[in-house]
Amino acid sequence: MRRRFGVMTERLGLRIGRVALGGFGWIVLTYLALPLVVIIGVSVTTTAYLRFPPVGFTLKWYAQFLSDPSYLDAISTSAVLAVNATALALLLGVPTALVLARAHFRGEKGLAALFLSPLILPPIVMGAAILQYAGALGFARTYGAMLVGHTVIVIPYVVRTTLASLVGFETSLEEAARDLGDSGPGAFFRITLPIIKPGIIAGALFAVIISWINVELSMFNTTAHLMTIPVKLFNYIQYSVDPMIAAVSAATIYVAIVVVAILDVTVGIDRVAASNE
Amino acid sequence: MVALLLPSLAFLLAFFIAPFVMVAFASLQDKTGAWSLANYARASSDLFYWRTLLLTFRISLWTTLVAFAIGYPLAYYITLVVKNRAIRRLFYIIVVTPLFTSSVVRSFGWMVLLGRRGLVNDALVASGLVDRPLPLMFSEAAVVIGLSYIMTPFMVLTVSSVLQNIDRSLAEAAEDLGASRLVTFLTVTFPLSLPGVIAGSLIVFTLSVSAYVTPSIMSGGKQVVMSMLIFQQYGSVFDFNFGATLAVALLVTTLILVAGYLLAIERRPRAGREVA
């Protein structure tokens, strides 16, 4: 009897535990989404001050920032910077990952660590370093200074995801192609590239977004005429907040949602998330 | 084949290593360019910098603890409890979307939530728990709230990537042998997930130590952390040498703490023994 009671309480305990965990999971999800939902909400309020839940519905704040050239300039600077830094990082990072996955030589591990190290070094120190270095070489506060800095911080994402896609990849496939007379580059484009494509896509998307949202590195090198959108937002929000700036912020959230959707459709978000250590 | 590494190595050497070496050298020079330890003497003799460093580490430690307390159960739920792939993808989408949004926007969201007329104060007043809105923003707690929100996705992703690869037959074996779910979790699953917890807490801690945007917005400049002092030197005081010193000091003290943490873990008796 007592034993049976014990089993029952344990079953009950199990069920309660599971329900509690599930409830907690959904609460955390709400918590993760809430600040973003709040920004989108206040961006459509008809009041001149921030109000959540919003009062009424209007798109006038979006119209207001879209008719302000300084915001459009900042958005285009950020977009061009993100695309260029990503292109450069792909050019440098993909061959690096291929070599690191295939070739075996002394110092291989140290080299892999070097390519991933921009991930752990504080971006604020990186920003200061780039400003100081570019200053000494005469290109401080220029587009070039930002481009090299952004490229350095996004390279690890490309290297990491490409490396992950090469793990467990049978080099014998490529060797077989070669044995059958396919030349080196041919084998690469026909065999290797399709296999590492998901890794490259995921790495490129990560790189674009990391550059697009960066503040800490950019703020050292921005000027009144060379401004990225997150730095512009940051400078504004520190002094005042209104529904118009919420509309600009909400627009950047839509970009994030679109990129996450692309990531999910092309590679599968659960796969990317799981390989992302 | 190794020659393929040359362009990327040259790039990192020119725009990553060289700038860092330059900062390290600059920290050891005075304004005239002469070698000197004066910057370090100035930083270490002023109690203000020690207090700032302490506040920075205290905020980062709280942030790491909160991110773990919130992130671990969510990671466990997503990877080991949710069986439906569509729901799991939905969870991951909600975890990753904030990560893809600038910390400016995310902190702004908290500003709206925690402000005097924000959702949290409205709810508190409406429920009768408080008579008038609480000053929730611009405090150390506000910085921890903002930072832990920013960091939770990192913890979730790092822990779930480890949880996912744990051999489930081990937990099943423990249960077959009569261990309850809780005991199984404490003696099998949790110890096996420790590498993820360690990696996640290191990522969260180091990112928090150097965070600039969130502490600035959430504290309204009222709580000064190291990154703010560094930017101040570079952005408005224009004392690059002293700025470099503060940057090196932050980097080195963080590395020492991280090394100490890893050493402490190595020395620890194997997890789970004390429970079993």
Q: How confident is the model at residue B132 (pLDDT cuts 50, 70, 90)?
A: confident
- Any idea what DSSP says for residue B269? P
pTM value is 0.89
Q: What is the CATH number of domain A65-275?
A: 1.10.3720.10
Task: Answer yes or no: is B172 within a domain.
Answer: yes
Asked if the Cβ–Cβ distance from A213 to B216 is below 8 Å, we say no
Higher pLDDT, B175 or A174: B175
Q: What is the mean pLDDT of chain B?
A: 89
Evaluate whether A98 touches A166 at the Cβ level (below 8 Å).
Answer: yes
Range with top average pLDDT, A158-167, A209-218, B164-173 = A209-218
Asked if pLDDT for residue B274 goes beyond 50, the answer is no
Picking from A248, A210, A26, the residue whose alpha carbon sits closest to that of residue B95 is A26
Touching check for B126 and chain A: CB below 8 Å? no
Neighbour count for residue A163 (Cβ, 10 Å): 22
CB-CB neighbors (< 8 A) of A204 in chain B:
none
Q: Give the C-alpha separation, B114 to B120, whole Å.
A: 6
Residue A248: per-residue pLDDT: 95
Asked if pLDDT for residue B191 goes beyond 60, the answer is yes
- Any idea what DSSP says for residue A48? S
Chain A residue with Cα closest to B197: A277
The two tokens of residue A65 are 């920032």
Residue A272: per-residue pLDDT: 77
Chain center to CA of A61: 27
Locate tokens 């860092």: which residue? B20
Which residues between 243 and 272 in chain B have a beta carbon less than 8 angstroms from any beta carbon of chain A?
243-244, 247, 250-251, 254
Judge if the upstream peptide bond of residue A54 is cis by omega within 30 degrees of 0: no
Residue A6: per-residue pLDDT: 61
Q: B16-52: per-residue pLDDT in tens?
A: 999 999 999 999 998 888 898 999 999 999 999 999 9
Domain borders along chain A are: 65-275
Average pLDDT of the segment spanning B192-221: 92
Q: How confident is the model at residue B271 (pLDDT cuts 50, 70, 90)?
A: very low
Residue A8: per-residue pLDDT: 64
Which residue among A125, A215, A233 places its CB closest to the CB of B251? A125
Which residue among A111, A213, A275 places its CB closest to the CB of B101? A213
The two tokens of residue B270 are 């194997």
Locate tokens 């599971």: which residue? A18
Q: A66-109: per-residue pLDDT in tens?
A: 999 999 999 999 999 999 999 999 999 999 998 888 777 788 88
Average pLDDT of the segment spanning B186-193: 89
Residue B272: per-residue pLDDT: 45
Asked if pLDDT for residue A277 goes beyond 50, the answer is no
Neighbour count for residue B39 (Cβ, 10 Å): 23
DSSP characters over A104-129: --TTHHHHHHHHHGGGTS-HHHHHHH
Q: So what's the ipTM on this one? A: 0.88
Asked if pLDDT for residue B273 goes beyond 60, the answer is no
CATH number, residue B84: 1.10.3720.10
- Interacting residues of A150 by C-beta distance below 8 A, sequence separation 6+: A81, A82, A85, A211, A214, A217, A218
Q: Give the C-alpha separation, B62 to A208, whole Å.
A: 31
Burial class (CB in 10 A: 0-12, 13-18, 19+), A187: buried
Task: Answer yes or no: is B251 within a domain.
Answer: no
- Interacting residues of A149 by C-beta distance below 8 A, sequence separation 6+: A126, A127, A130, A217, A218, A221, B15
Q: How confident is the model at residue B275 (pLDDT cuts 50, 70, 90)?
A: very low
Range with top average pLDDT, A115-129, A154-168, B47-61 = B47-61
Our count of domains for chain B comes to 1
The two tokens of residue B16 are 């990553």
Which residue among A219, A253, A277 places its CB closest to the CB of B101? A253
- Side chain identity, residue A203: G
Q: Give the C-alpha separation, A201 to A164, whole Å.
A: 12
Asked if the Cβ–Cβ distance from B213 to A216 is below 8 Å, we say yes
